[in-house]
Amino acid sequence: MQISIRAIDTLFFRDGRPFSMGEESWARGLFPPLPSVFSGLLRTAYMCSQSLPVQDVLEKTSGLTINATLLSDGEQLLLPIPKGLLPYKVGEEVELQALQLLPHDGLSSYSLPLLLQSPRDGKVAAETFSYLEEKAFQNYLAGKEEVKYSNEAAGLLSDEPKVGIGRDKTTHIVRESMLYRVNMQRMESPDGQKKLFFIVSFDGLNIPPSGIIRMGAEGKTVQYHSLAPPFEIPLPEISRPLLKLYLATPALFEEGWRPAWLPADGSWGTWKGRRVRLLAAAVDKPLAAGGFDLETGTPKPMYKAVAAGSVYYLQTETTEAAQSIAKELHSACISELGKDTEGFGLCYAGAIGKHQLSETAFEELSKK
């Protein structure tokens, strides 16, 4: 089942940083929220529709599997700009340039075979809402050199800071040193004509086709309805024994920044009996991923998650192996530590363009 979620009011999602009353005055948020947030939302929707007590929810919803959590402007999907693309400011426009893969000279402790290097000089644009439209993202996966960026989506999310103060629960008198600020966010254009939606794909749970439910740290209301036809991002053609893996949602791996089946030194590993190795990786700083455990009533363990938009560049022994690995991992959640069923590590596979790694450089690489 796939649903679209529209915010009726402003929303706020906590990140992993502490926010203790009387100690911290500014609560910073995380957008979009972690995939586990949608797991809680779906379970709540099921609980309300079935009139279940809270203590029975986890048992009754144990089969829930979240396949994807994405954003949409109502017409097409919006995906985080890959870390393998750099946005450069050119006048009033923003151009995206793919990082080039170059042989490692061996003069540092860097262990992977290839380095990532910007193809040009210039000022990198600081975009606060960096997303690619679906068509541009498909061009990126196909390994095309030109990937157009439109900042229209940036106007679909605006900050609305909220200032509040703590009060005594008994007397309702203002408590000293309890002033706080929360950065609420509104998911629509300034004129209210266009909206930003969450898109969630899941299995193993039957909920009503539409409804209104609470979401986020402030318990604001959102409206959801089922999607038909469901969204799909096609797998591009892989014509060389090379592929890239893009993470559309944060991922948790046993080895931290990389999947356990990819050795950190660039040596050959295996995926279901096929040899594959990691050539390079474009990975941002980690996110703190935690949450609240409904069963125990305590906070969940905090993990360092690989940020959405991270890209891994891989080599296989044959083109057929690259094609089969890409087919198996495309649109799949590859997170480890048991988090793949919560929607962590949604992966899309793509081709590495010749503008990133030339045939000559690839031939030299294959000799090693």
CA distance 187 to 185: 7
Which pair of structure tokens corresponds to residue 209? 């086709």
User: How confident is the model over 309-359, as pLDDT tens digits?
Assistant: 999 999 999 999 999 999 999 999 999 999 999 999 999 999 998 888 877
pLDDT band at 260 (very low <50, low <70, confident <90, very high): very high
pLDDT (average), residues 80-104: 84
Q: What pLDDT is attached to residue 201?
A: 95
What one-letter code names the amino acid at 76? Q
CA separation (Å) from 234 to 75, 231, 316?
Answer: 17, 10, 21
Q: What pLDDT is attached to residue 195?
A: 93
Q: What pLDDT is attached to residue 367?
A: 65
Q: Which of 201, 81, 198, 74 is nearest to 136 (CA)?
A: 81
Whether the bond into 32 is cis, omega within 30 of 0: yes
pLDDT band at 77 (very low <50, low <70, confident <90, very high): very high
Q: Which of 282, 278, 274 is nearest to 264 (CA)?
A: 278
pTM of the shown model = 0.91
Predicted confidence (pLDDT) at residue 96 exceeds the cutoff of 90 = no
Q: What pLDDT is attached to residue 129?
A: 63
Helix (H) or strand (E) holding 333: strand 332-333
Predicted confidence (pLDDT) at residue 268 exceeds the cutoff of 90 = yes
DSSP H helix total and E strand total for the chain: 5, 24
Predicted confidence (pLDDT) at residue 243 exceeds the cutoff of 80 = yes
pLDDT (average), residues 222-250: 92
What one-letter code names the amino acid at 343? G
CA separation (Å) from 318 to 239, 262, 278, 287?
Answer: 10, 17, 15, 35
- Collapsed DSSP state (helix, strand, coil) of residue 304: strand
Domains in the chain, please, with CATH? 2-73+158-226 (no CATH), 80-146+233-366 (2.60.40.4350)
Residue 241 contacts residue 316 (beta carbons within 8 Å)? yes
Which one has a higher pLDDT value, 349 or 92? 349
Q: What pLDDT is attached to residue 4?
A: 95
pLDDT (average), residues 194-211: 94
Q: What pLDDT is attached to residue 17?
A: 66
Helix (H) or strand (E) holding 38: helix 35-50
Q: What pLDDT is attached to residue 53?
A: 85
DSSP for 95-151, written as a single string: EEEEPEEEE--S-SS--SSEEEE-SS-SPBP--SS-EEEHHHHHHHHTT-S-----G
Residue 183 contacts residue 161 (beta carbons within 8 Å)? yes
User: How confident is the model over 109-166, as pLDDT tens digits?
Assistant: 888 988 888 877 767 766 656 889 999 999 999 998 878 777 777 788 888 888 877 7
Which pair of structure tokens corresponds to residue 10? 């402003």
CA separation (Å) from 64 to 38, 68, 266, 336?
Answer: 11, 12, 36, 17
CA distance 122 to 97: 11
Q: What pLDDT is attached to residue 65?
A: 95
